[in-house]
Chains A and B, each alone.
Chain A
Amino acid sequence: MSMFPSFGQIAGALDIAALPTLRGRQYSSAGGFLSAARLATDPIGTFTLTLTNVVVGSRVNISPVAGGSPFYDDLAAASSVVVPLSVYAPGNPSNDLLIKVRSASGSPTYQPYETQATAVVGAQSVFVSQIPDE
């Protein structure tokens, strides 16, 4: 009896059938080492974005610059808005963030404020300078 488990024994233990057949998360047993390969869309960490100086009541929207569903959309309850976000592998367009802050429904109104940020593992603060529109 071999001192090493067979491929079939390992495969059975890892439930390979539950993984995508062509691409995606995979385990490798090559050389007797086990590793996990993540998808490009899998987060690799967290990014805490803090917006400061936000006019209370403003709507804050954080979306990918490339477009798509927002990561965050809510009314600012305080002048500092802390938004936890995911960080993706370098080169993932989801790391490029478009930040919109708008307040034009009640007086005083403000001009739309837009800026961009790049998600990195860690934290970053963005000072929001909303200009009164009246």
Chain B
Amino acid sequence: MTITSTDFAISGGGAITNVGGSTVYTVLELHAWLQDLADNAAPSADDNVSILGANPSQLAGKRNASRPAALTLLNGVTIDNAVSQRFKFGSIEQNSGNDLWTGINTIGSGLAGRSHYVVQNGAKYNSGTKWWAAGPVQALFKVKASGSLIAAGIVTVFSREWGYAYSHFDVDCSAGSEQVAALSVAADANITRLTGNYTGGTNTVTSTSPSTVVTLTPGTVSRTLGGVTKNYKGIISWTGTARLNEVWQALQWGCTEASNATLNGVAGWQYRKLDAAYTENQAAPFGTYAGGKWFVARGWWVDTASLNSLDLQGYQLVSDDGTTVSPPISIGISVGSMVAGDYVLVGKDDGAGGFNTTTGITSTGSASATTVTLSGAPAGDVPTGAGVIRIAGNAHSYTGISGVTVSGLSPAVPGGGYSAAATWFPYLDKVAASSGESSGSFIYAADFTARVRVRNGGGSPIQPFETTFSVTTAGGSVNAIRASDT
């Protein structure tokens, strides 16, 4: 395409200004136009370039329309930002190299029709006013002024359109010519709300539906989850026990192009990660939501008090030191195919045909008491709610364990009491009241082999049933085989 005299004017001093039209030309076309004028006998109309004046422009290399053109404006010929928006596919420098506009070309998947914006030195370029249409961007951006690179020549191209996975790319424009910004954008099915559902604040995002306020509290804290104590650099909390998908959406909105939230001290539309040392998650700065689970970005602690009861296992954290931390998995053990009256005993297998009764823990308690004190905290996979305990060979049920205190013993401590009595923790230890019995829930720590023993020598005698089975993150279950003994 050829630039016409109605597009631009060139003053006697060399300043190129917009006159009319909106066509975006290539940098090479600017050079061709200037050189075309420069071999005229005299200036024509408002284009004050001719052979009477000095050479107005010079290319690095020869003209080649298939590659970006690096153009230098010479001898006082200049453009400004408004004029730069009329050009693409190359770079333009002027004022002896003191000013530089570099071309950026976005490439990648899913860019067609998507919104992009450019951030330079912590602000949206051109105050967020775009002169390019939706879709891939090919335009010039000023990266050097008065001899100094702006933000070291780095500009960042963002694609953060609501409903789509986010992407951005830091482009080093200091060398001029045209530089590539590689982006990847795809629709995000986890976004179910409309953008108007949210408003932002300082470290807050407020959702209308469901009604919740998500709050960020930056600052180092030490927290324990699933028995793992780690440092985190900020807390995510929210009101209304909103589901995790809603909380995640709110924070994702907080990072969208249209966000008016300030997150951890920066505008949400350019928030990238909690700590400079972390690896960022481009698609979702607060972590990925996938398969009904929120893989929270590194450094953020999720306030467990804010959690909906349906989401207790619906997230995973990464602590400040990079350790992946998962919420505890609550499991249980069940035994089926019994009849009421069968006695069932389930405990950890000792690998030698019996139960592992060696815990190293003893119990001390007074006669008739319903509370005993353990010599140490029980293992993490002992039920801390209702469960059963064997003390000096005696079976008791309990209602809870807190620290080293076992409470709600039934039956109560027998006469004589317990003094450093050997103690272990079966999972089931009772006369079955029905065909199936289940242990109290406990926290999964690691896979183990359990042993089950079912006996009935009374009204419905069976041959003793005994076997082992595996307990995993899904818990453990086994059906008794009741072989008649009559």
Contact = CB atoms under 8 A, between A and B. Distances in A.
B404 interface: no
A102 B35 contact: yes
Interface residues of A, number: 18
Given A133-B59, A133-B62, A133-B63, A63 B52 contact: yes
Nearest to B74: A112
A104 B35 contact: yes
Contacts of A63: 52
B447 interface: no
B63 A70 contact: no
B39 A58 contact: yes
A112 B49 CA distance: 13
Interface string A95-118: 000001011110001011010000
A120 B35 CA distance: 32
Interface string A40-77: 00000000000000000011010100000010010000
Interface string B47-79: 000011001001100111000000000000000
A112 B52 contact: no
A100 B64 contact: no
Interface residues of B, number: 15
Nearest to A105: B36
Contact of A109 (B52, B63, B64): B63
A63 B130 CA distance: 46
A71 to B, nearest CB: 12
A112 B40 contact: no
B40 A70 contact: no
Interface of A: 58-59, 61, 63, 70, 73, 100, 102-105, 109, 111-112, 114, 132-134
Top 3 closest A-B pairs, CB basis? Answer: A104-B35, A102-B39, A134-B63
14 contacts: A58-B39, A59-B39, A63-B52, A100-B51, A102-B38, A105-B40, A109-B35, A109-B63, A112-B38, A112-B55, A114-B55, A133-B35, A133-B63, A134-B64
